[in-house]
Amino acid sequence: MHDLTVRRGFPLARPLLALSVLLALAGCSRGVTSTPGDAPNLETYVAEIKAKPAPPLESLPVMQQFETFEYAAYALRDPFSRAFTDDGGGGGPRPDSARRKETLEQFPLDSLDMVGTLGQGSGVVALVMAPDKVTYRVRPGAYLGQSDGRVTAVSEDRIELVELVPDGAGGWLERPATVALEDN
């Protein structure tokens, strides 16, 4: 007996692939017709376009003449002078420029972390870690942050302080702030 083996696969796959490649190449070559006679047609077309007159330009808009105005309010008060500020002659809180700056005043307040406390009752001392990874002891009366923040109270879970911020009119405002105990 003869042993018949059936070939698996597609026996017509290679011829079909070759035929499709030839058809694709034939389709691409139909659109490209470059003959030596095409160059004169292109030159003629360019010459016709150049021979056409250019479209007329739009006329320039007429410039509107503005009326001149002379400022004649020299005798009136200057609205930008310090006479209109309500600082009351320099009263109110001001930063003490003669005070020696403390170590924790070189860091922004939001970069300081309260990490714990020492003591109890009125003798509570807060432990504050600065961005330089050094832990400092803070008591009431100390200064924190870059806005002249003076510590007013230290409790088990927060540090309360008052900062001095400019009010925009040459004076200063007191603004309360807190540094809370960091949750781990």
Tens digit of each residue's pLDDT, the chain (184 residues) = 455 444 555 567 788 888 888 888 776 655 555 555 567 788 899 999 999 998 888 988 888 888 888 878 878 877 777 655 554 445 678 888 888 999 999 999 999 999 999 987 778 899 999 999 999 999 999 999 999 999 999 988 999 999 998 888 788 889 999 999 877 6
3-class SS shares of the chain: helix, strand, coil, % to 5: 25, 25, 50
103-180, CATH topology level: SH3 type barrels. (2.30.30)
Nearest CA to 124 out of 105, 137, 134 is that of: 137
Asked whether the whole model's pTM tops 0.85, one would answer no
Listed by start position, the domains of the chain span 103-180
Strands (DSSP E) contained in the chain are 113-118, 125-129, 135-138, 143-144, 149-154, 158-166, 172-180
CA angle 11, 15, 20 (to 5 degrees): 130
